[in-house]
């Protein structure tokens, strides 16, 4: 059965449509793979009954010739997306047992197009983390290990479960979300493709909120074409999200494989950060060479405020989080602790329900929004955010997309960056600017480091120009010919 789990989403959908195998067969193959891979801790909830029910319904639609674009394809869902009647915790104890009475728009779009839900995927608590270690349900293991080592590595975060499950062939693709790099960094760490589309491309309705002006959904998949296929289904205007853009969703799949000759690719000099490993630098140069060989024009560009993106993000994101997470008060849903007075119940509920990183960020967010500090911190950060967005606008005068490394390192060991929060934050140095500016970014697996661990390259594009990114990502994918798979030590 393993050949069915190793298919790309694109090939699986084609095989289902032409009835080479049934939705029930490919779903059973994945449920079996999930059972054998529990040691990865990628899934927080498995939904085999619902999966088989959805698969049989898909088979019936295919038999009638009514299949949708993802008909019968088994997918995983990051536990940040509300799924009707299926526990949704966002990796937090405060939501343990919460069963939403509604379905998120993004997942509803996937089911509308025929996809099958395998279960919910582990993540950093409220998407706050870069290693999946802040999950209340324990860290996820990366299917990849350093050559000759048994040490557990992080799959990245916050969409660690999504990346791990896709890399280990436990699902054909997975939903993920990206507030500061939470799709692209785990994709880079696991040899998978991850795209964060333009802010507003996907509806945030039914997604557990972290930082509303930055949060955006996207897929993690095993190929660029798969990412285009899945994002096409996830996208679309939604009146239930006032920040959802009222624009048509292009057929992203048509952009993959398109000629990239004449496209201008910018290389931002400020992304050459201190202490960047030589391997990352070399991979970046290799990526530039690949795109030049494919006929792109390479231009050096400057994004002078790059180094201020992370500190600005660590004001804006906690500020929005402190406001968003005020809803967890133990009254209408979620965990409620004991206490003598109402205030004590609130304080104990939140003290016991939230983990350390979430509490730290709520405190920072509360502090920077508090009287006397609002102008010095929050307002200044919003002005720096504008400077960062302006940098990109100027870059678009001379180039059509930017090429950068996805991350400053390969996957690191679990527990490696626990001691100092800022060290962990620095992992998102290349991904955060696109969130602040609302721009699309995609990570493509491009090679292995000396230890045999995957490394990714990132492309950032103009707002609503995912098409160009898919064309360039397709060219990178073809040139890199990344075929490596992790050894199956987990089953």
Name the site residues for another protein (rule: CB under 8 A): 97-101, 199-200, 213, 239, 242-243, 245-246, 305, 307-308, 311-312, 314-315, 322, 326, 329-336, 339, 341-348, 350-351, 354, 359-360, 362-364, 366-367, 370, 377, 379-387, 389, 420-422, 436-439, 463
- Min dist CB 364 to another protein, Å, is 6
| Residue number, 72 or 129, with CB nearest to another protein | 129
| Residue number, 288 or 382, with CB nearest to another protein | 382
Q: Using an 8 Å Cβ cutoff, are 123 and 132 in contact?
A: yes
Q: Which one from 158, 162, 235, 322 is the annotated catalytic residue? A: 158
- Min dist CB 303 to another protein, Å, is 13
- Min dist CB 370 to another protein, Å, is 6
Q: Which one from 182, 203, 443, 471 is the annotated catalytic residue? A: 182
How far is Cα of residue 169 from the mean position of the Cα atoms in its chain?
17
Based on the residue annotation, tell me whether 182 is a catalytic residue of this protein: yes
Based on the residue annotation, tell me whether 104 is a catalytic residue of this protein: no
3-state secondary structure of 20: coil
**Cα distance between residue 240 and residue 396, in whole Å:** 32
| Residue number, 59 or 215, with CB nearest to another protein | 215
Sign of CA dihedral 189, 190, 195, 199: negative
Tell which residue, 86, 84, 88, has the closest CA to residue 101.
Answer: 84
**Cα distance between residue 223 and residue 166, in whole Å:** 11
Based on the residue annotation, tell me whether 78 is a catalytic residue of this protein: yes
- Min dist CB 273 to another protein, Å, is 14
DSSP letter at 130?
A: S
- Min dist CB 371 to another protein, Å, is 10
- Min dist CB 262 to another protein, Å, is 28
Contacts of 59 (CB under 8 A, 6+ apart): 22, 23, 24, 72
| Residue number, 239 or 415, with CB nearest to another protein | 239
| Residue number, 191 or 200, with CB nearest to another protein | 200
Q: Using an 8 Å Cβ cutoff, are 466 and 197 in contact?
A: yes
| Residue number, 52 or 382, with CB nearest to another protein | 382
Contacts of 122 (CB under 8 A, 6+ apart): 41, 42, 43, 44, 79, 91, 132, 135, 137, 138, 140, 160, 161, 164
**Cα distance between residue 482 and residue 454, in whole Å:** 9
Strand order of the β-sheet with 401-405 is 43-46, 116-121, 74-78, 173-178, 216-221, 193-196, 441-448, 454-461, 401-405, 264-268, 297-301
List active site positions. Answer: 78, 158, 182
């Amino acid at each position: 059965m393993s050949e069915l789990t190793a298919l790309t989403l694109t090939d699986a959908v084609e095989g289902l449509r032409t009835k080479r195998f049934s939705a029930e067969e490919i779903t059973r193959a994945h449920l079996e793979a999930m059972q054998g891979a529990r040691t990865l801790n990628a899934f927080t909830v498995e939904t085999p009954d619902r999966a088989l029910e959805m698969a049989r319904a898909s088979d019936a639609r295919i038999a009638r010739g009514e299949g949708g674009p993802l008909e019968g394809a088994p997918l995983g869902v990051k536990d940040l997306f509300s799924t009707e009647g299926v526990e949704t915790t966002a990796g937090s104890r405060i939501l343990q047992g919460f069963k939403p009475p509604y379905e998120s728009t993004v997942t509803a779009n996937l089911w509308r197009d025929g996809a099958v839900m395998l279960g919910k995927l582990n993540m950093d608590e409220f998407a706050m983390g870069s290693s999946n270690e802040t999950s209340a349900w324990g860290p996820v293991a990366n299917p990849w290990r350093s050559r000759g080592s048994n040490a557990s590595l992080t799959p990245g975060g916050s969409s660690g479960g999504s990346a791990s499950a896709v890399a280990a062939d436990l699902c054909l693709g997975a939903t993920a979300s990206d507030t500061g790099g939470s799709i692209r960094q785990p994709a880079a760490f696991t040899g998978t493709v991850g795209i964060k589309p333009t802010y507003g491309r996907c509806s945030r309705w039914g997604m557990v909120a972290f930082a509303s002006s930055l949060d955006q959904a996207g897929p993690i998949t095993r190929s660029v074409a798969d990412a285009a296929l899945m994002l096409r289904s996830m996208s679309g205007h939604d009146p239930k999200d006032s920040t959802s853009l009222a624009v048509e969703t292009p057929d992203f799949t048509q952009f993959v494989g398109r000629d990239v000759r004449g496209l201008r690719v910018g290389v931002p000099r400020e992304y050459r950060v201190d202490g960047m490993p030589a391997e990352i630098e070399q991979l970046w140069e290799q990526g530039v060479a690949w795109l030049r060989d494919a006929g792109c024009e390479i231009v050096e560009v400057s994004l002078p405020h790059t180094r201020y993106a992370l500190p600005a993000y660590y004001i804006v994101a906690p500020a929005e989080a402190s406001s968003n997470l005020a809803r967890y008060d133990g009254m209408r849903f979620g965990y409620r602790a004991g206490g003598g007075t109402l205030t004590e119940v609130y304080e104990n509920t939140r003290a016991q329900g939230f983990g350390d990183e979430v509490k730290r960020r709520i405190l920072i967010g509360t502090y920077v929004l508090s009287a006397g500090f609002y102008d010095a911190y929050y307002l200044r950060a919003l002005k720096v955010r504008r400077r960062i967005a302006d940098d990109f606008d100027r870059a678009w005068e001379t180039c059509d997309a930017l090429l950068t490394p996805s991350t400053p390192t390969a996957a690191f060991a679990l527990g490696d960056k626990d001691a100092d929060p800022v060290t962990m934050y620095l992992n998102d140095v290349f991904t955060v600017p696109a969130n602040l500016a609302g721009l699309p970014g995609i990570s493509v697996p491009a090679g292995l480091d000396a230890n045999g661990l995957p490394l990714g390259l990132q492309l950032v594009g103009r707002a609503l120009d995912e098409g160009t990114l898919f064309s360039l990502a397709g060219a990178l994918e073809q040139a890199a010919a990344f075929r490596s798979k992790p050894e199956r030590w987990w089953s």
